[in-house]
A = this chain, B = another copy of it.
Amino acid sequence: MASTSSIALSQALLTRAVISQNGSDRCVSVPAFSGLRSASPRATSSSRRQRIASASSHSLRPLVRASVAKTAETTTDSSLVDKSVNTIRFLAIDAVEKAKSGHPGLPMGCAPMSHVLFDEVMRFNPKNPYWFNRDRFVLSAGHGCMLHYALLHLAGYDSVREEDLKGFRQWGSKTPGHPENFETPGIEVTTGPLGQGIANAVGLALAEKHLAARFNKHDNEIVDHYTYSILGDGCQMEGISNEVCSLAGHWGLGKLIAFYDDNHISIDGDTEIAFTEDVDKRFEALGWHVIWVKNGNNGYDEIRAAIKEAKAVTDKPTLIKVTTTIGYGSPNKANSYSVHGAALGEKEVEATRTNLGWPYGPFQVPEDVKSHWSRHTPEGAALESDWNAKFAAYEKKYPEEAAELKSIISGELPSGWEKALPTYTPESPGDATRNLSQQCLNALAKVVPGFLGGSADLASSNMTLLKAMGNFQKDTPEERNLRFGVREHGMGAICNGIALHSPGFIPYCATFFVFTDYMRAAMRIAALSEAGVIYVMTHDSIGLGEDGPTHQPIEHIASFRAMPNILMFRPADGNETAGAYKIAVTKRKRPSVLALSRQKLPQLPGTSIESVEKGGYTISDNSTGNKPDVILIGTGSELEIAAQAGEELRKEGKTVRVVSFVCWELFDEQSDAYKESVLPSDVSARVSIEAGSTFGWGKIVGGKGKSIGIDSFGASAPAEKLYKEFGLTVEAVVAAAKSLI
């Protein structure tokens, strides 16, 4: 466990980080230990780096306290609110207009509800976007991201300055076309693909509920924040949103408050053409509290009352349906699909300025609006400072809990955690890697405080139950076994939300490998948004047997090898399984897929936990001078076949190297010298075997090598029969090798 003392921690939370980008220094206060995420440098923008400085903001505290108290009691006069709301609208209009690309309609319609939310309700510290106890906001309708950028700009986030608004959707800017947490501090998750955001929000709210139940004390509610989200008609139509909202209702996530931007317009026109269900009633059926704000365009008091009511309902999530006009203010385009996803055009921008009585120039924030919002900087600092004091008291009284919580907040793993992983020898009993995986999961949960997860109704098949722990449920949220039901897509996206809540959360989730097809969109966003989720994917080939081709993955391994920033592991035995987990746990910005067998496998000589880090390595070799007659390459359950074929060939006097290719991506990242030591370029006699598509293997075995795999769908029969019929046999490997030697 990290040894940061409570005082150091308290101070650290107001430490400032200076982000240097394109020559301009930007101040963002960042806790030294907590939740620090650097903006991910693109290949071509490596100048984006973070340096930590240490200017303290303690002097702000007295001023701020009064301000916080005042805000809680009063609301801003309504003409200023109107002005602030129009500022948000025009920042969005102007940025989209300048980019000649983007979505002005949603920001124009949602400006009122989001103004109330950000200016009057949410608790955050703009100078430290990573302050642990901030309220989270997720714009699930991510195309409307200019709304969020405008709000962050007004609220004083250094990540979105005027120059950033002007650089909307341009190369290297911090304001990309959809919200990206890895580009823009203040953005919590990555949205745009519809439905993902509300699912992430459920994950964030789950994380809060779990931590609050686990760590809060009667005298110190150290974890206490809300999760807000705005979702549109598009999110509502996506199946994933029904999956996660069903779970949110089931789990009773009372601090999740979602605004449904009910504007009746989607890209193809009026929602009447495809979406006529009764959304309110559906959400009631899902166990939500539902409120309807009929005048979302300027009914500020209605919006305020709805949020108050939502907070009063503590055992259910709340959906606030806010009826709005998309593109509100545009005289000729409001309430039509034409304002959804394209710039208004010069003429209509002018008409909108006239219509809303807006005398200000492009990107101009009126002084009174600026001044009004400026209080969030000292208020935010005070909120964080108060929380720091609270944490110091907590740590003093509850040092063990504080240490665990700190690990989750900071992402620092307890020292020696990796020693908990099981190790194996060739004499250890053979087992399915899904079972060996369970040994790892249970070992890790004991030593890693933020380790939690579950399966999409296949816990007993995926072998993912944490035996020492109970189920996370409405009334037992302190537990760590998540029960997702048969909702793979929602499961994946919820885990993204958990992972991005705090760096020390390490969520895993599980289903049959073939059903990654159901959750692929969420897995891709994990890879893109640097959410280090661990995917426990069992039944990884035709080796699952009788369930047949609907359940047998073929192209899946290849499809993940082709996906950027995700590690695709296919361990062959206990050591490789433990090795895969060891890496997956440390890779917090890169998700990992573990493809695991249903069938029993032997513990192979030559494998080791450490070797897995190389991605590909030799498990046995009777050659000298790095020049075997043939190299046999296998992964997962087929490594055993490769090893047996190697023995056969050696009996006939051949020199054979057997290589495990457990993770291609890691092998790719090794030095050329290492690669040459495993796959010498002079040895073109190479045979690979893997119970899946041979697609991509050409690069490994080379033009003269052979790949044994399955390029058709599987079939329904016992596993051994299938291996024989599909030609995944020792004989086939031996024959292929002989044809090459």
Interface residues of chain A, those whose CB is within 8 Å of chain B, are 42-44, 99, 101-102, 142, 169-173, 176-178, 180, 190-195, 233-235, 237-243, 246-247, 249-250, 266-268, 271, 273-282, 284-287, 337, 455, 457-461, 471, 473, 483-490, 514-515, 517-518, 520-521, 524-525, 527-528, 545-551, 554-555, 558-559, 561-565, 693, 695-696, 698-699, 702-703, 711-713, 715-718, 721-722, 725
Complex: how many Å from CA A313 to CA B287?
Answer: 28
Q: Tell me how many chains of this kind the complex includes.
A: 2
Beyond known contacts A234-B486, A268-B457, A558-B696: 9 more, CB 8 A cutoff: A180-B548, A192-B551, A194-B486, A277-B285, A277-B286, A285-B285, A517-B520, A528-B549, A554-B562
Query: Closest approach, in angstroms, between the C-beta of A721 and any C-beta of chain B?
Result: 5
Contacts of A461 in B (CB 8 A): 267
Pairwise interchain contact A278-B285, C-beta atoms closer than 8 A: yes
Q: Which 10 A-B residue pairs are closest in the complex by CB-CB distance?
A: A239-B239, A698-B699, A274-B485, A176-B716, A281-B285, A192-B550, A171-B717, A555-B562, A562-B695, A559-B559
Could you list 10 examples of A-B contacts with CB < 8 Å?
A: A177-B548, A191-B550, A192-B547, A237-B487, A246-B277, A274-B485, A277-B286, A278-B287, A281-B282, A695-B695
B267–A457 touching, CB < 8 Å: yes
Chain B residues lying within 8 Å of A489, measured Cβ to Cβ, are: 239, 518
Interface centre among A234, A281, A562 (most CB of B within 10 A): A562
How far apart are the CA atoms of A249 and B275 in the complex, in Å?
A: 9
- Selected from B190, B233, B484, B715, the residue in CB contact (under 8 A) with A274 is B484
Tell me how far the C-beta of A317 lies from the nearest C-beta in chain B, rounded to whole angstroms.
Answer: 13
Chain B residues contacting A44 (CB-CB under 8 Å) are 725
**CB of A567 to closest CB in B, whole Å:** 14
User: How many Å lie between the Cα of A302 and that of B191 in the bound state?
Assistant: 47
- What residue in chain B is nearest A275 (Cβ atoms)? B485
Q: Give the chain B neighbours of A551 by CB distance below 8 A.
A: 177-178, 192-193
| Residues of the B chain whose Cβ atoms lie less than 8 Å from the Cβ of A194 | 486
Which residue of B has the minimal Cβ distance to A247? B274
A460: chain B residues within 8 A (beta carbon) = 267-268, 337
B193 & A518 in contact (Cβ 8 Å cutoff) = yes
A240's partner among B172, B239, B698, B713 (CB-CB below 8 A) is: B239
A273/B483 contact (C-beta < 8 A), A169-B546, A521-B518 known: yes
Give A121 Cβ to nearest chain B Cβ, in Å.
Answer: 28
Which residue of chain B is the closest to A99 with respect to CB atoms? B546
Establish whether residues B485 and A715, one from each chain, have CB atoms under 8 Å apart when the complex forms. no
Q: Chain B residues near A239 (CB, 8 Å)? A: 238-243, 487, 489-490
Q: How far is the CA of A345 from the CA of B236 in the complex (A)?
A: 45
A282 touches B286 (CB 8 A): yes
The contact of A712 among B169, B171, B515, B565, by CB within 8 Å, is B565
Closest to A710 in B: B564
Among residues of B, the one whose C-beta sits closest to the C-beta of A544 is B177
